[in-house]
Amino acid sequence: MREIPWGILWIVLWCALRPPAADAGELPLDRFGRLVTIEEAIDRTVESDAAVRRALVRLQGEKAKLDLKQAQFFPEVKGDTFAGFASGESGRLAFLNVRIEQPLFEGGRRLYEKRKQAVRLQMSESELAITKLNLALEVRLIYSKLLHEKEMVRLIQDVRNQVSVSYEKAKTLFDQALITRAQLIEAEVLNEKTKQALLLHKEKQDYLQEVLSRALGMGPGEALELEPLGELPRLHEAIDDYLRGAHDDPAYRLQDLRVREKELEKKALGAKRWPSLMLTGGWEVNRDVYVDFNRAVIGLKGSWNIWDFGRLHAQMKAAESEIEEAKWQRIIQAREKEKRVRELFHEARIARGDIALREKFLESRSEDYKNLKTKQIAGETDEKDALSGFLDLESAREAMLEAVTQFRVLAAKLERESALLGVEMRGEIQ
């Protein structure tokens, strides 16, 4: 038997195992792009948006300030030197002073200032979390409006198609002198109204799509996956779920931290009533006409603000007032937050009930239109009545869209007030 050459065998195997080539009108997989869900898009946005970046920069600045306060507990080495010429018996002079200073006691002032800066760092973290929650809410609201406009375009396109057919029939009937000019103009006006309405909602859809794509930072090969408008977000039956979530809002924590900051500020002021002691040492060299020494020095340096005519006392009283003001602000904030949560919760329940009502009304209009179409086929009514029934049906659908969008907006706001948007709160300090 003749032996098969290895080169031919490799060619046959390669042809058999390689994937089939794409047709002329078929795109390879890497050219199709990628759909991005709204949740994925929000997660990406809250990490890359300019407002979040600004909050992260502020957070990094507060972290650097905390490192500065921490470094003030360690010794500080300083040095001064001078060398030059002067008139007189000695034409040259020199001076060198190298010293080290270590704070020993200041009544706890540096400790309180460090704790105060640590509180400010936590405040920046809370501000970052608030920024992310507000940004997520803004994206969700735009997304809800985009879904509404998308459905409105589809709905009005159906109306437009039906009205266009009726308008063409009206022109034919007018040419045959079967209807008056007033009836033709009425059909023409209705045709132009639907045309303008379609243009209006298409422009709104394009605008919202562009705004949302820019806000989400989507690339040219990505598209946002639009969910059906009728898929409603879940609404908790008990308001206590939202009230408990509201207490986890970073705005509450931010106000608590402001109270803590004022308390530490008062303690830092109170530390000024105590004397301060500092251990100091160094090396001094001085060469001049009447001075010539080279020595090491070590000792204690102290200072005490004995009397300032009540300035420190007034500062502490002002700090006490600011603490009380911040505490009352916390109470007012909690009351306003609870009020907003309750208001949004009940409005969302009303909106959900309105959706159920609109569904029944839409079902009734649909049955009316079916009956009119049946009568039109049987010759019991004319096309104008059937068109009127169709427009009533589309009007009911539009009202249904409005109710659904209103509910989605209220649900998003309620989740924001209750801090239930599922956004990662903390930022990364690089």
- For the chain, give me the number of helices (H) and strands (E)? 9, 6
* Alpha-carbon span 392 to 406, nearest angstrom: 21
Under 8 Å CB-to-CB from 374, ≥6 apart: which residues? none
Query: Would you state the structure tokens that stand for residue 5, as one six-digit string?
Result: 């050459």
Query: Would you state the structure tokens that stand for residue 426, as one six-digit string?
Result: 């903390």
Query: Would you state the structure tokens that stand for residue 383, as one six-digit string?
Result: 């096309």
Q: Is the dihedral of CA 424, 51, 150, 33 positive or negative?
A: negative
Q: Phi/psi class of residue 424: alpha, beta or left (left: φ > 0; alpha: ψ in -120 to 50)?
A: beta
Under 8 Å CB-to-CB from 162, ≥6 apart: which residues? 387, 390
pLDDT above 90 coverage of the chain, percent? 27
pLDDT at 43: 80
Instruction: Determine the average pLDDT of the residues in 59-74.
Output: 92
Between 61 and 220, residue with greater pLDDT: 61
Neighbours of 1 (CB within 10 A): 3
The yes-or-no verdict on residue 323 having pLDDT over 80 is yes
Between 87 and 120, residue with greater pLDDT: 120
Instruction: Determine the average pLDDT of the residues in 106-127.
Output: 93
* Amino acid at the residue 255: Q
The yes-or-no verdict on residue 133 having pLDDT over 60 is yes
Instruction: Determine the average pLDDT of the residues in 59-63.
Output: 93
Instruction: Determine the average pLDDT of the residues in 342-362.
Output: 91
Neighbours of 391 (CB within 10 A): 17
pLDDT at 263: 94
Please name the residue that has the structure tokens 């009005």: 156
Going by DSSP bridges, is the β-strand pair 34-36/222-224 parallel, antiparallel, or unpaired? parallel
Instruction: Determine the average pLDDT of the residues in 94-114.
Output: 89
* Alpha-carbon span 185 to 177, nearest angstrom: 14
Going by DSSP bridges, is the β-strand pair 76-85/92-105 parallel, antiparallel, or unpaired? antiparallel
The yes-or-no verdict on residue 418 having pLDDT over 70 is yes
Render pLDDT for 148-157 as a digit per residue (tens, 0 to 9). 888 889 889 9
The yes-or-no verdict on residue 119 having pLDDT over 90 is yes
* Alpha-carbon span 144 to 405, nearest angstrom: 6
Range with the lowest mean pLDDT among 14-23, 42-51, 108-117, 259-268?
Answer: 14-23
Architecture of the domain delimited by 38-417: Up-down Bundle (1.20)
Between 66 and 228, residue with greater pLDDT: 66
The pTM (predicted TM-score) of the whole model is 0.75
* Amino acid at the residue 332: I
Cα distances (Å, whole numbers) of residue 237 to 230, 345, 346, 375:
19, 9, 10, 45
Q: Which of 63, 61, 401 is nearest to 201 (CA)?
A: 401
pLDDT at 428: 40
Render pLDDT for 308-317 as a digit per residue (tens, 0 to 9). 888 989 999 9
**Cβ–Cβ < 8 Å for 59, 427:** yes
Q: Phi/psi class of residue 28: alpha, beta or left (left: φ > 0; alpha: ψ in -120 to 50)?
A: beta
Domain boundary assignment for the chain: 38-417
Q: Running DSSP on this structure, what letter comes out for residue 23?
A: P
Going by DSSP bridges, is the β-strand pair 76-85/292-303 parallel, antiparallel, or unpaired? unpaired
Partners of residue 94 on adjacent β-strands = 83, 287
- Rg (the chain; Cα; Å): 38
Render pLDDT for 225-279 as a digit per residue (tens, 0 to 9). 676 766 788 888 888 888 888 888 888 899 999 999 999 999 999 998 899 999 9
